Structure 1
Amino acid sequence: MGTSVYEIDLFNRKGFVRKVCRACGKAFWTLNHEKELCGDQPCVEYEFIGKPAVTKEFTLRSLRESFLGFFEREGHTRIRRYPVVARWREDVYLVGASIYDFQPWVTEGLVPPPANPLTISQPCIRLTDLENVGRTGRHLTSFEMMAHHAFNFPGRQVYWIDETVDYCYRFYVEELGIPEERIAFKEDFWEGGGNAGEDLEVLIDGLEVATLVFMHYATVNDTLQPLQNRIVDTGYGLERNLWLLRASPNVYEALYGDLVERFARLAGFHKVEENILREVSKVAGFVDARRPSDLRNSIAQRIGIEVEELEAILKPYEALYAILDHTRTLLWMLGDGVVPSNMGAGYIARLLLRRSVRLMEPLQIPVTLRDIMEAHIEASYQDFPEFKEVAEKILEILELEEKRYRQSLVKGIELLKRRAKELKSKGISALSTEDLVFFYDSHGVPPEILKEQAGKLGLEIKVPGDFYSALAKRHERVQRIAKAADAYRSKLLQELLGLPETQLLYYDDSYLRTFKAKVLKVVDGRYVILDRTAFYPEGGGQLCDNGRLKFRNHEALVKDVQNIGGFVLHGLEGTIPEAGEEVIGEVEWNRREQLMRHHTAAHILNAAARHVLGRHVWQTGAEKAVEKARLDISHFKRISPEELRRIEELANEVVLRNLNVRISFMPREKAEEKYGFILYQGGVFPGKTIRVVEIEGWDAEACGGLHCSSTGLVGFIKILSAERIQDGVERLTFAAGEAAIRYVQRMEDLIRETAEALHVSKEELPRAAAEMASELKVLRSEAERLRERLIESQVESMLKEAESLGDVRLLIKFMEGADVDANFAVKIANTLVNKDGGLVAIFFVLGKTVQVVAMVGDEAQKKGLHAGKIVTLVADRAGGGGGGTPRLGQGGGLERDKVLGMASYLRQAIGGWVKEQN
């Protein structure tokens, strides 16, 4: 890259000189002709701490208003912040910069920006330096990126580098009053997300306060290709700029000074002298904060105290800073509808929440996370009143997640004990990083607690310095798994090039039942492409239409309909028409009508769930079939029967009101402006024009499915069940219209038949069922007691049957009978190995399916025998599958004939293992 791009009018006009930094070797522009260092870290220390550049007092609110107001006066339109959850994008979960708001649709020129030029203060979340938060004095997990953007498209040039740098200079010098000689502009080059361009880092007294990026390249195969669109992408960190203006010892004191003082006083912390905090921030610019010992040693040397004394002073404050940071980030996330879970944005929320709980424990502070969150909500109320509206839900989620975390610790520590035993049996004395990730992701146990417990169990643990940020990075982007069908679709699209896209008659009239069309092409001898169709293809969770095609004297059944890149393929059974033939299509109306009812009902129910459960509810999946449909929604706990009933009542109220269902195609930016991002309940809708399905006064979503023209046509909606299908996701199974009526009729038949069988009336059924349940409980208890006696009676004789194989004994039994199952086999095997630790018991349960249970006693395990491996050996030889722990292995799906001949093979294999150990 040449330097001409940086020969900016302002630099020439004001007398800036281009220098090369003596430390890092990069070029920068300054008014100070004697300056030899660029002013960035680690080239220089922070020079602003304790030396305010201006006399005016600023708050977050007043600084944000100064920025937005300045750019408004300079012809920019102020736009409202976007949610931190990037629901309009398919590649990321959270907004990490203000430019995310406009990717990909605006930056690629597909839709116009909401204003041009514009200014915004966008909350952003980045966890790339999570471990550094609290330690360095400058790192945060969330921040507001104040920005001004200009989108230069062919035929519409707004402004470029000269104007951008001029705006920046004037904002700092004229608006804020910072002396111009304290400002430096450092040259750099930015790449990311497939785009690239020159940039200037804006540095004041050692602190980077803004970045000015000029995107005008695409990166293609490691080469730069000029873009038609040139985009001004700027970012001014609100919190960093406040830190500069307040000249506080660190960014946390600038942001949370009052809260730090309040909670530190309640906890009884010793007050830290400002010079210590100041030195922490300065030294952290030179030392990797993920190596705390290096950081501590450097600071201790500079201020002349022992490392242990410094540790005792700093550690409580570092934890408090991190807790205040994490809870503020959680406010953004939970307030914008994130539900903690084990996936996507929910994973990040849970990670921050649990880390906050962990950080609070050693502080013994007489406040809760709820208290801290309430303080954040109150402090942000004037700027973000929307969080006050959902405050109770946010606080409920916090308390519930904290409770779950503590419960998971108990289970996780028990699992650690088992893992320690397993590793020791293999001669391994350390937990791997993979183990740490497994215990955290699957059981919620942080590595710090593992380290405490592992010491007691004789295990070593080395926790990577970037453990949490590495976990966060795994979950920051949507992981799309390529499918075999993707390759087929790509190949097929190449074959279809040159054909006109199919005319979609079902969008012109969703009640159209018959139509005439022409066959354009036959694909794979089974699929036909028509020039126009009324058959709806599978998509958006809605099953495809069925029906028939008539031509000449033939008829073919339409069984599968798919849209591939604008071409609708009709899968046929029967005689296949030839290319060029005229056909008459007939849609199977009863199926279509029921699918439309279920799709419209899904929209009605989703909005009803948001009304009842809260604004955090978002659709995560759906399927609309003929007899029933399902709707998956995000929610942080199980839905109660009362809540379910209220959702159902609300949905049916909407049906009875017979609201109009309006469908329109709108420019994306107009739809977002009118309805907000609630449009994307069903996921991202591609393209610059989106199809909006609006239930008048109730719901609006971007949707490609077919719907009833009014809610009254949906008919009765009945929720059939609610279940938790994964962490943070509830599944509502429901039926509407005739399907709902048929379901209710079936339930009535079952009730009537059950009442007749019990010789009671319908009204007496609950009492009769309770009595039967009580009697059944007694019978089960008696059966279990008899089973225990049966086991006891068989154990001694079975032990005598065991044969010796070196230092272990082996028992192989084939069991069958009405009362025999895998659980019975496990109980017998457990009793056997408890009595004889050198025993290996293998039971084959011969029922409708063949199962295997293997149990290895403690002494036999020391000889290298592993129950899970024995089961795997059986499964490899007899089909099926299975595995397990060193003590217990289980498998199933085995082939009966192969199992019956396995005894001698197992004796030989296990005998061989024992000999190897000796």
Structure 2
Amino acid sequence: MTGREIREKYLKFFEQHAHQILPSASLIPHNDPSILWTAAGMVPFKPYFTGQAVPEYKRVTTCQKCIRTPDIESVGRTARHHTFFEMLGNFSFGDYFKESIIPWSWEFITKELNLPQDKLWITIYQDDDEAFEIWHKTVGVPAERIVRLGKDTNFWEIGVGPCGPCSEIYVDLGEARGCGAPDCQVGCDCDRFLEIWNLVFIQFFRDEEGNYSPLESKGIDTGMGLERVASVLQGVASNFDTDIFREIMDFTANLAGHKYGQAADTDLALKVIADHCRAVTFAVSDGALPGNEGRGYVIRRLLRRAVRFGRVLGVHEPFLYKVSQAIIEQMQDAYPELKQKSGHVIRVIHTEEERFLETLAAGSDILATLISEAKASGASEIIGNDAFRLYDTFGFPLELTQEIAAEQGLTVDEDGFNAAMEEQRKRARSARQEIEYISERGVLYKALREELGDTRFNGYSTLDTDSNVMAILKDGLQELSAVAGEEVEIILDVTPCYAESGGQITDHAMLIGPDLSVEVSFVNKPVEGLIVHRGKVLSGVLKRHDSVKVKVEQPRRQDTARNHSATHLLHKALKEVLGEHVNQAGSLVEPDRLRFDFTHYAAVTPEELLRIEEIVNQAVLANYSIETFETSLAKAKEMGAAALFGEKYGKQVRVVKMGEFSLELCGGTHLTSTAEVGLFKIFNETSVGAGLRRIEAVTGLGVLKYLGAKEAQLEELAAVIKSPVQEVVRRTEALVQHNKALEQEIEALRTKLAKSEVQDILGRITQVKGVSVLASVVAAPDMDNLRGMVDMLRDKMGSGVILLGSTAGEKVNLVAAVTKDLHGQGLHAGNLVKEIAKMVGGGGGGRPDMAQAGGKNPEKLQEAIDTVHQVVEKQMK
């Protein structure tokens, strides 16, 4: 069976058992900052297991895209380590339990996949007699093939929240794959027994004290690795030998002029490239972009590691984008989003490859300096920590550093490199975050929702409503009342207050009652259906079950809606001007401004910004009616509605329509016509990451304030240069030209003065063991001028050692030079200037022929210069 056939067979099997097939969720977890990646099939369903959200379907089956990166260095070196993989899973949210999933799993394994029963082993949690009875008596697995294991392997839990025992299905791959030990069995570290499916029985809730209580609504969470199952069914020893990987590896091998299976180092490179490029392709497709932190750093690291392994294949130009195209072709049927985003994916990968090759070139220069310094100082090896910095910062693999160093007769401190690598791994392990089902705070809000019911939001149609106080919380505890001065959280049965979400900030409001006023400053939705108001009691006493009038701050809501509606117009204008590849990547909507992040590959030109601004303002002046309505997700997509990429939508969605100009899915608050935007003005456009741009803008009265500030600046500038406002540009240009002329005149005078000073300084040359040495304090305003003087002196001297020092305020500048004919005598400009810099409270270094340094004790400069001759003499010994 091919990987595609296994995937389809699994999903169809559970569809026949009344499961709803859902598409894979994004690799970027939705509204879950606790984790970087979707790392398991259950991640998208965490809110359903915890009760934070109500599932649309009780039974679900998926093939989920997953990324895990704890063991990147092991990829390609083992049979089953991957960064990207596909997890087949079926889930029950309070529907069926062990009595159903255990027989189904056996049926699928033995009848659909035709795996021989005598090769299958089962593990269960040591105390799970219920699972044992079903496996043994209902299914008929011999008791001796059911292995009881402890809590460390067969009980799933992470902190507070739902948890439970699990049961795993293993395949015996035969004695030839084993370790040969007489006690080799399930659980052994060798490759004989391969786990292919894990069934997790969510049946307990663990509290903060570690107590377990049975859940009323039990759940099932299963996971089967597609790549592992494919390796078993296709009879191959490694996941990389399945059709899932071989197509990609063969494509890469052909691209590089190699063949898989002929050399170990080549095979390793092909495996790493196939794995990493799959991960990068899918991650970029789901909205991740290369960067220096978080997900961006992971993407950049994987891509650069793949590029480095490309060098093993002899590929020194961008090639991963071509591999990515092959991956998209192979996987687009199962994951249509790949095809939809193919242009964006290919461009991001190609751009990042080109940038990295430039970085590698910079790393080569650094390595050349390290080699030069090592040889000049008589060292025989490159320091391990320096080699690691080359690897970590510039992407130089250790093998490449060793190869280049060997050409120069040097070795690399491999132990030091490995020690630095292990330190980084320790930091990574300590920073790694686990997948959590629910936080302690989440448990509180979930319980409150179950007790009080959902909060009804009516804020689309009104800003003023009567409501009842359902609960008052202070420091996580329910209170019966709150008095003036206290800050509390308040839950109402109905509210017009918009809870912060989708980039739109919270409403502000007042709760009014007889002799009562409460100022609400923040509103959020900690669990689905429950709206929580954070506020301060200004006067009176707020009591549970009070009837209050809720009044949203109208100007703030209106200004926020003005900016939110403008983001929709901006999104459409960006697509018109820059291209359909532009997609929203995030936004912030506040009363006084808007911020809009979008995918694009270059800075937006001033001409393009003007055109975008013009299109938005034309839409404002067109006075398009803004309508909102609810429909099915399928119908909305059929209508062409734009959706925020990676966002999770239910069956019913809210659509915002602005005439025939814009159609988007959105849950935010909006105006009733585009004319209410007033004016739209972009005030900033910048990069926020590779392939990611940001526009900031203002609307309505915000534009008047912005233009007023600009006008005030112009008038201030006119006053400074003593010019009428209408003449500011011409007058400023004249001043700039005059300033340039003065600078050229000053530079010419400095050069003339320097030449004169050089002639005077040449008279201070002394001899040290037959070598001409010139050391002096000079007048040079900056390092550039100081280097220029050294160059002139070196040309005049022909042969010798020079060290000049100058002061610039509280700083000391030092430049040293050693002519090339003296390098074999132990003289090194970098070592010389480093020694002298210590005496003025500084440091520095550089090449053997030219080096510079700085210091912070100008009063000690002359004393340091006076020691140059002794230092030179010591170096020559």
**One-letter amino acid of the structure 2 residue matched with residue 903 of structure 1:** E
Deviations 1:504-540 (A, max 9, x none): 9994778779x9x9x964449xx89999999999998
State the Cα distance separating 1:478 from its structure 2 match. Answer: 7.3
Aligned to 2:69: 127
State the Cα distance separating 1:163 from its structure 2 match. Answer: 2.1
Aligned to 1:214: 201
Asked if structure 2 preserves the Cα contact closer than 8 Å seen for 1:130 and 1:141, the reply is yes
Residue 460 (1) aligns with residue 448 (2): no
Aligned to 1:168: 105
Local SS of the residue matching 1:211: strand
Could you say if the C-alpha distance between residues 854 and 542 of structure 1 is closer, same or farther in structure 2, counting changes exceeding 3 Å? farther
Instruction: State the distance in 1 between where 2:714 and 2:111 align.
Output: 80
State the Cα distance separating 1:407 from its structure 2 match. Answer: 0.8
Aligned to 2:168: 201
**One-letter amino acid of the structure 2 residue matched with residue 377 of structure 1:** I
**One-letter amino acid of the structure 1 residue matched with residue 319 of structure 2:** T
Could you say if the C-alpha distance between residues 862 and 577 of structure 1 is closer, same or farther in structure 2, counting changes exceeding 3 Å? same
Aligned to 1:10: none
Aligned to 2:246: 257
Instruction: State the distance in 1 between where 2:41 and 2:550 align.
Output: 49
Instruction: State the distance in 2 between where 1:633 and 1:467 align.
Output: 38
Could you say if the C-alpha distance between residues 171 and 665 of structure 1 is closer, same or farther in structure 2, counting changes exceeding 3 Å? same
Instruction: State the distance in 2 between where 1:762 and 1:442 align.
Output: 51
Instruction: State the distance in 2 between where 1:314 and 1:770 align.
Output: 66
**One-letter amino acid of the structure 1 residue matched with residue 86 of structure 2:** E
Instruction: State the distance in 2 between where 1:829 and 1:625 align.
Output: 59
Give 2:354's match in structure 1, choosing from 403, 410, 435.
403
Asked if structure 2 preserves the Cα contact closer than 8 Å seen for 1:840 and 1:860, the reply is no
Give 2:57's match in structure 1, choosing from 93, 115, 123.
115
State the Cα distance separating 1:385 from its structure 2 match. Answer: 2.8
**One-letter amino acid of the structure 2 residue matched with residue 243 of structure 1:** S
Could you say if the C-alpha distance between residues 410 and 586 of structure 1 is closer, same or farther in structure 2, counting changes exceeding 3 Å? same
Deviations 1:629-671 (A, max 9, x none): 4444455543344554454355445534555667899999999
Residue 598 (1) aligns with residue 563 (2): yes
Instruction: State the distance in 2 between where 1:350 and 1:461 align.
Output: 25
Asked if structure 2 preserves the Cα contact closer than 8 Å seen for 1:186 and 1:201, the reply is yes
Could you say if the C-alpha distance between residues 390 and 716 of structure 1 is closer, same or farther in structure 2, counting changes exceeding 3 Å? same
Aligned to 2:664: 699
Could you say if the C-alpha distance between residues 638 and 447 of structure 1 is closer, same or farther in structure 2, counting changes exceeding 3 Å? farther
Which has the higher mean CA deviation after the structures are superposed, 829-838 or 259-268? 829-838
Local SS of the residue matching 1:198: strand
Asked if structure 2 preserves the Cα contact closer than 8 Å seen for 1:833 and 1:856, the reply is no
State the Cα distance separating 1:331 from its structure 2 match. Answer: 2.1
**One-letter amino acid of the structure 2 residue matched with residue 355 of structure 1:** R
Aligned to 2:266: 316
State the Cα distance separating 1:397 from its structure 2 match. Answer: 1.6
Residue 241 (1) aligns with residue 192 (2): no
Local SS of the residue matching 1:98: coil
Could you say if the C-alpha distance between residues 812 and 473 of structure 1 is closer, same or farther in structure 2, counting changes exceeding 3 Å? same
Give 1:739's match in structure 2, choosing from 702, 707, 711.
702
Local SS of the residue matching 2:42: helix
Aligned to 1:307: none
Deviations 1:123-162 (A, max 9, x none): 111233333333334333222111111123xxxxx22223
Could you say if the C-alpha distance between residues 479 and 811 of structure 1 is closer, same or farther in structure 2, counting changes exceeding 3 Å? farther
Instruction: State the distance in 2 between where 1:199 and 1:267 align.
Output: 45
Give 1:843's match in structure 2, choosing from 800, 804, 807.
807
Residue 97 (1) aligns with residue 40 (2): yes
**One-letter amino acid of the structure 2 residue matched with residue 116 of structure 1:** K
Asked if structure 1 preserves the Cα contact closer than 8 Å seen for 2:786 and 2:806, the reply is no
Local SS of the residue matching 2:115: coil
Asked if structure 1 preserves the Cα contact closer than 8 Å seen for 2:686 and 2:694, the reply is yes
State the Cα distance separating 1:800 from its structure 2 match. Answer: 9.2
Aligned to 1:183: 120
Instruction: State the distance in 2 between where 1:522 and 1:798 align.
Output: 80
Instruction: State the distance in 2 between where 1:769 and 1:266 align.
Output: 57
Residue 344 (1) aligns with residue 294 (2): yes
Instruction: State the distance in 1 between where 2:743 and 2:865 align.
Output: 40
Local SS of the residue matching 1:106: helix
Instruction: State the distance in 2 between where 1:133 and 1:76 align.
Output: 34
Instruction: State the distance in 1 between where 2:274 and 2:489 align.
Output: 60
Residue 230 (1) aligns with residue 192 (2): no
Runs of 5+ unmatched residues, structure 2? 125-152, 174-193, 436-440, 446-451, 470-480, 527-531, 767-772, 818-827
**One-letter amino acid of the structure 2 residue matched with residue 601 of structure 1:** A
State the Cα distance separating 1:189 from its structure 2 match. Answer: 1.3
State the Cα distance separating 1:731 from its structure 2 match. Answer: 3.0
Local SS of the residue matching 1:159: coil
TM-score scaled by length of structure 1: 0.64
State the Cα distance separating 1:68 from its structure 2 match. Answer: 0.8
- What is the count of residue pairs matched by the alignment? 749
Could you say if the C-alpha distance between residues 367 and 411 of structure 1 is closer, same or farther in structure 2, counting changes exceeding 3 Å? closer
Asked if structure 2 preserves the Cα contact closer than 8 Å seen for 1:135 and 1:318, the reply is yes
Which has the higher mean CA deviation after the structures are superposed, 313-322 or 393-402? 313-322
Aligned to 1:36: none
State the Cα distance separating 1:699 from its structure 2 match. Answer: 3.0
Asked if structure 2 preserves the Cα contact closer than 8 Å seen for 1:202 and 1:208, the reply is yes
**One-letter amino acid of the structure 1 residue matched with residue 38 of structure 2:** V
Deviations 1:894-913 (A, max 9, x none): xxxxx9xx72699699999x
State the Cα distance separating 1:713 from its structure 2 match. Answer: 1.3
Aligned to 1:386: 337
Aligned positions of 1:489-504 closer than 5 A:
none
Could you say if the C-alpha distance between residues 541 and 266 of structure 1 is closer, same or farther in structure 2, counting changes exceeding 3 Å? closer
Local SS of the residue matching 2:263: helix
Give 1:730's match in structure 2, choosing from 688, 693, 699.
693
RMSD: 6.2
State the Cα distance separating 1:371 from its structure 2 match. Answer: 2.8
Instruction: State the distance in 2 between where 1:729 and 1:94 align.
Output: 19
**One-letter amino acid of the structure 2 residue matched with residue 378 of structure 1:** E
Local SS of the residue matching 2:38: coil
**One-letter amino acid of the structure 2 residue matched with residue 257 of structure 1:** R
Asked if structure 2 preserves the Cα contact closer than 8 Å seen for 1:522 and 1:578, the reply is yes
Asked if structure 2 preserves the Cα contact closer than 8 Å seen for 1:812 and 1:841, the reply is yes
Give 1:903's match in structure 2, choosing from 856, 859, 866.
859
State the Cα distance separating 1:406 from its structure 2 match. Answer: 0.9
Could you say if the C-alpha distance between residues 387 and 746 of structure 1 is closer, same or farther in structure 2, counting changes exceeding 3 Å? same
Could you say if the C-alpha distance between residues 667 and 150 of structure 1 is closer, same or farther in structure 2, counting changes exceeding 3 Å? farther
Aligned to 2:679: 716
Instruction: State the distance in 2 between where 1:700 and 1:356 align.
Output: 37
State the Cα distance separating 1:67 from its structure 2 match. Answer: 0.7
Could you say if the C-alpha distance between residues 570 and 784 of structure 1 is closer, same or farther in structure 2, counting changes exceeding 3 Å? farther
Asked if structure 2 preserves the Cα contact closer than 8 Å seen for 1:84 and 1:336, the reply is yes
State the Cα distance separating 1:74 from its structure 2 match. Answer: 1.4
**One-letter amino acid of the structure 2 residue matched with residue 237 of structure 1:** G
Aligned positions of 1:550-589 closer than 5 A:
561=521, 566=532, 568-569=534-535
Aligned positions of 1:336-735 closer than 5 A:
336-364=286-314, 368-417=319-368, 438-440=389-391, 442-453=393-404, 456=408, 459-462=412-415, 463-464=417-418, 470=425, 507=459, 521-523=483-485, 561=521, 566=532, 568-569=534-535, 593-602=558-567, 604-606=569-571, 608-609=573-574, 612=578, 617-620=583-586, 622=588, 624=590, 626=592, 628-633=593-598, 635-641=600-606, 643-645=608-610, 647-652=612-617, 654-656=619-621, 658=623, 678=643, 694=656, 698-701=663-666, 707-727=670-690, 729-735=692-698
State the Cα distance separating 1:403 from its structure 2 match. Answer: 0.9
Aligned to 1:69: 12
State the Cα distance separating 1:765 from its structure 2 match. Answer: 7.5
**One-letter amino acid of the structure 2 residue matched with residue 132 of structure 1:** S
Asked if structure 2 preserves the Cα contact closer than 8 Å seen for 1:522 and 1:528, the reply is no
Asked if structure 1 preserves the Cα contact closer than 8 Å seen for 2:485 and 2:536, the reply is no
Could you say if the C-alpha distance between residues 473 and 535 of structure 1 is closer, same or farther in structure 2, counting changes exceeding 3 Å? same
Aligned to 1:87: 30
Runs of 5+ unmatched residues, structure 1? 1-57, 153-157, 273-311, 481-488, 494-499, 846-850, 875-882, 893-898
State the Cα distance separating 1:75 from its structure 2 match. Answer: 1.8
Could you say if the C-alpha distance between residues 263 and 438 of structure 1 is closer, same or farther in structure 2, counting changes exceeding 3 Å? closer
